[in-house]
């Protein structure tokens, strides 16, 4: 089976990372729906065929992902030496070079697994930052058997609530590789778009307390799960749904999911409910009926996120307020598979999660809480002089430009039609571009800048690449810059420690600008969301 271009690029970037001599463990950041199971399969096959003595352990946390990953492994390699160890799947097969396993089933069985060379973890954002929990305990035990054990993680959401990025220390993972974006997958037809509409009904969490950074579930259910609110929500969903055929509701808890299901049925909608307490056989039957079109609406509480895929879901109702951007992205991702009957999925956000976390193409990772240690403040760009300044600044320290008041700036984040994707913008047919080094007058930090020029009537659009910054921002900037190099006929990869004046001069001389860009505004500055060299 032939991999898609970005799937092969994922493996190539991974090998390049190892070949560069990096120590530690990398994490591949891949959007929901990008086909992580195909990448895992190809990686396992390549490892075994190049190094036949290799022992691979593929770990995840739900039986659906174990089955899905094993199935794709068979598609890529029909006679793969593969075993499955999962109590939920009633299989306990050890001894093969490749073992696909559930962490709950093998977390205390390192001595039975024996010598493992490579561990691949799907949905690796669930691995604890601290040296505790099922994953970390198993990896510690396996490292005693093989001190040279390496770990590769895969996730669409490389951050944890209250812990920050997946690479923030202390952490298992040391670096992030980001070979593809949601925007690219949509442009190629591998994912479909989400569209959102404003809802009149809003679920109020102002009186709900938080514990560990997240809403306390008992208080949250008490706040949002009332007959009047459930009636208003269901009535509005029915009004906005039209002829959509597969509705998925994310609820605040088990009781809430049951009550919303009952309200749907009372309004004449075929509906079922799935929670963590639903027996496995009953859950499988309900999901099968849902996919067969026998059930129009499916409510759930903390179940149908990772490991659940039904491409024809065409309406998602978010009734579960959350401070977790990972959960938000996972919920939204259920609607992004290409569909047989429409080109998008409607998202109705009654819970304010889009307003809280932003478009899913530009989710802001949570900060890591480190008492006594100051973190670098988020920044914004002055639209008058392009200076990077603190997000809280009222006046640009370089040119004196006064920024909008916070109330005005915050209003741009509120949910409006179609903004959940954050990828619809204006277009410019590019006639030329100009690369330069930009140095912040306030912080002294250097970055690359490029300005795109169109017709005389088009305003120039400038974007910035903070390629030498540390952490997520720097990793993301390097990844994006390298993709631009590859598309603009520049045979180079930026890995740091290079004079940016030289880089800018090289790009100006050797690169080919895109023929078209699509851009939008984040506040007062530009964000380029698509570049095309094909027109």
Task: Give the span between the Cα atoms of 340 and 311, in whole angstroms.
Answer: 8
pLDDT tens profile 476-519: 888 889 889 988 988 878 877 789 999 999 999 999 999 999 88
Asked whether 207 and 215 are in contact (CB, 8 A), the reply is: no
For CA atoms 410, 416, 420, 426, the dihedral sign is negative
pTM of the model: 0.74
pLDDT at 459: 82
Residues 6 or more apart whose CB falls under 8 angstroms from that of 281 comprise none
**Ordered domains of the chain (ranges, CATH):** 5-183 (3.40.50.300), 193-352 (3.40.50.300), 426-532 (no CATH)
Task: Give the span between the Cα atoms of 377 and 393, in whole angstroms.
Answer: 11
Task: Give the span between the Cα atoms of 211 and 195, in whole angstroms.
Answer: 32
pLDDT at 486: 87
pLDDT at 58 over 90: yes
Task: Give the span between the Cα atoms of 270 and 272, in whole angstroms.
Answer: 7
For CA atoms 507, 475, 182, 427, the dihedral sign is negative
Count of beta carbons in the 10 Å neighbourhood of residue 467: 24
Task: Give the span between the Cα atoms of 482 and 484, in whole angstroms.
Answer: 5
Count of beta carbons in the 10 Å neighbourhood of residue 507: 23
Average pLDDT score, the chain: 86
The owner of tokens 């970037």 is 13
pLDDT at 134: 93
Model confidence band, residue 212 (pLDDT cutoffs 50, 70, 90): confident
Tokens, residue 218: 């008992």
Model confidence band, residue 419 (pLDDT cutoffs 50, 70, 90): low
The owner of tokens 């390496």 is 150
For helices 254-266 and 217-224, angle between their N-to-C axes, nearest 10 degrees: 20
Residues 6 or more apart whose CB falls under 8 angstroms from that of 211 comprise none
- Strand ranges in 170-265 using DSSP code E only, listed in sequence order: 175-177, 193-196, 210-211, 214-215, 247-250
Task: Give the span between the Cα atoms of 204 and 297, in whole angstroms.
Answer: 24
**Distance, first Cα to last Cα, the chain:** 30
Asked whether 531 and 517 are in contact (CB, 8 A), the reply is: yes
**Strand-strand pairing, 98-102 and 56-60:** parallel
Distances (CA, A) of 217 to 15, 320, 330, 518: 43, 10, 19, 41
pLDDT at 492: 77
Tokens, residue 333: 């991702």
Task: Give the span between the Cα atoms of 91 and 84, in whole angstroms.
Answer: 6
Tokens, residue 23: 């120590």
pLDDT at 466 over 90: no
pLDDT at 381: 61
Backbone angles phi, psi at 121, to 5 degrees: -115, 115
- Residue predicted with more confidence, 371 or 12: 12
Query: If you average pLDDT over residues 312-318, what whole number do you get?
Result: 97
Model confidence band, residue 307 (pLDDT cutoffs 50, 70, 90): confident
Distance of CA 481 to the CA centre of its chain: 20
Asked whether 298 and 249 are in contact (CB, 8 A), the reply is: yes
| Helix, strand, or coil (residue 27) | strand
For helices 5-19 and 36-50, angle between their N-to-C axes, nearest 10 degrees: 50
Backbone angles phi, psi at 491, to 5 degrees: -90, 70
pLDDT at 49: 92
Query: If you average pLDDT over residues 118-140, what whole number do you get?
Result: 92
Closest CA to 44 of 87, 91, 93, 99: 99
Express as a percent the part of the chain with pLDDT over 90.
Answer: 56
Asked whether 143 and 346 are in contact (CB, 8 A), the reply is: no
Model confidence band, residue 337 (pLDDT cutoffs 50, 70, 90): very high
Query: If you average pLDDT over residues 445-457, what whole number do you get?
Result: 88
Query: If you average pLDDT over residues 320-344, what whole number do you get?
Result: 92
Task: Give the span between the Cα atoms of 73 and 20, in whole angstroms.
Answer: 28
Residues 6 or more apart whose CB falls under 8 angstroms from that of 247 comprise 237, 241, 269, 296, 297, 298, 313, 314, 315, 316, 317
Distance of CA 219 to the CA centre of its chain: 28
Query: If you average pLDDT over residues 100-125, what whole number do you get?
Result: 95
pLDDT tens profile 219-240: 999 999 999 999 999 999 999 9
pLDDT at 383 over 70: no
Asked whether 209 and 219 are in contact (CB, 8 A), the reply is: yes
Residues 6 or more apart whose CB falls under 8 angstroms from that of 217 comprise 252, 253
Lowest mean pLDDT among 241-250, 281-290, 348-357, 395-404: 395-404
pLDDT at 414: 37
pLDDT tens profile 92-105: 999 899 999 999 99
Asked whether 85 and 100 are in contact (CB, 8 A), the reply is: yes
Count of beta carbons in the 10 Å neighbourhood of residue 483: 18
Task: Give the span between the Cα atoms of 427 and 121, in whole angstroms.
Answer: 39
Lowest mean pLDDT among 11-25, 31-45, 181-195, 367-381: 367-381
Please classify residue 242 by burial: count the beta carbons closer than 10 Å to its beta carbon, then call 0-12 exposed, 13-18 middle and 19+ buried.
exposed
């Amino acid at each position: 089976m032939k991999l898609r271009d970005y799937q092969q690029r994922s493996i190539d970037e991974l090998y390049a990372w190892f070949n560069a001599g990096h120590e530690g463990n990398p994490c591949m950041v891949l959007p929901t729906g990008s086909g992580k199971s195909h990448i895992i399969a190809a990686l396992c096959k390549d490892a075994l065929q190049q190094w036949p003595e290799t022992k691979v352990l593929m770990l995840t946390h739900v039986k659906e992902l174990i089955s899905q990953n094993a199935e794709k492994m068979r598609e890529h390699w029909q006679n793969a030496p593969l075993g499955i160890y999962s109590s939920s799947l009633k299989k306990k097969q050890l001894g093969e070079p490749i073992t696909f396993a559930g962490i709950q089933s093998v977390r205390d069985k390192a001595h039975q697994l024996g010598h493992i060379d490579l561990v691949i973890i799907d949905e690796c954002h669930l691995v604890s930052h601290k040296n505790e929990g099922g994953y970390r305990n198993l990896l510690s035990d396996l490292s005693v058997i093989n001190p040279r054990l390496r770990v590769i993680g895969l996730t669409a959401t490389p951050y944890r609530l209250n812990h920050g990025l997946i690479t923030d220390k202390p952490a298992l993972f040391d670096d992030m590789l980001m070979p593809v974006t949601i925007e690219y997958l949509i442009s190629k037809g591998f994912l479909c778009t989400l569209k959102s509409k404003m809802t009149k009904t809003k679920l109020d969490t102002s009186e709900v307390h938080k514990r560990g950074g997240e809403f306390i579930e008992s208080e949250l259910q008490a706040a949002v799960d009332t007959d009047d609110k459930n009636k208003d929500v269901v009535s509005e969903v029915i009004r906005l749904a039209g002829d959509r055929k597969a509705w998925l509701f994310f609820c605040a808890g088990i009781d809430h999911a049951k009550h919303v299901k009952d309200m749907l049925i009372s309004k004449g909608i075929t509906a079922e409910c799935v929670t963590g307490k639903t027996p496995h056989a009953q859950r499988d039957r309900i999901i099968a009926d849902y996919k067969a079109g026998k059930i129009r609406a499916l409510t759930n509480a903390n179940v149908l996120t990772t490991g659940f895929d039904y491409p024809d879901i065409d309406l998602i109702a978010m009734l579960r307020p959350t401070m977790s951007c990972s959960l938000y992205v996972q919920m939204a991702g259920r609607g992004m598979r290409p569909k047989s009957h429409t080109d998008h999925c409607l998202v109705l956000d009654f819970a304010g999660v889009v307003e809280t976390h932003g478009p899913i193409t530009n989710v802001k990772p949570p900060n890591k809480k480190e008492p006594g240690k100051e973190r670098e403040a988020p920044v914004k760009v002055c639209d008058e002089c392009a200076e990077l300044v603190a997000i809280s600044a009222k006046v640009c320290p370089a040119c004196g430009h006064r920024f909008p008041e916070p109330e005005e700036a915050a209003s741009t984040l509120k949910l409006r039609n179609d903004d959940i994707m954050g990828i619809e913008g204006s277009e410019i047919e590019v006639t030329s571009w100009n690369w330069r080094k930009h140095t912040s007058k306030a912080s002294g930090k250097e970055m690359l800048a490029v300005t795109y020029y169109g017709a005389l009537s088009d305003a120039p659009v400038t974007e910035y690449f903070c390629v030498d910054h540390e952490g997520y921002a720097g990793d993301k900037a390097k990844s994006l810059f390298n993709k631009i190099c590859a598309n603009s006929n520049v045979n180079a990869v930026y890995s740091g420690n290079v004079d940016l004046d030289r880089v800018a001069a090289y790009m100006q001389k050797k690169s080919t600008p895109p023929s078209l860009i699509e851009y939008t505004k984040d506040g007062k500055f530009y964000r380029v969301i698509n570049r095309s060299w094909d027109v």
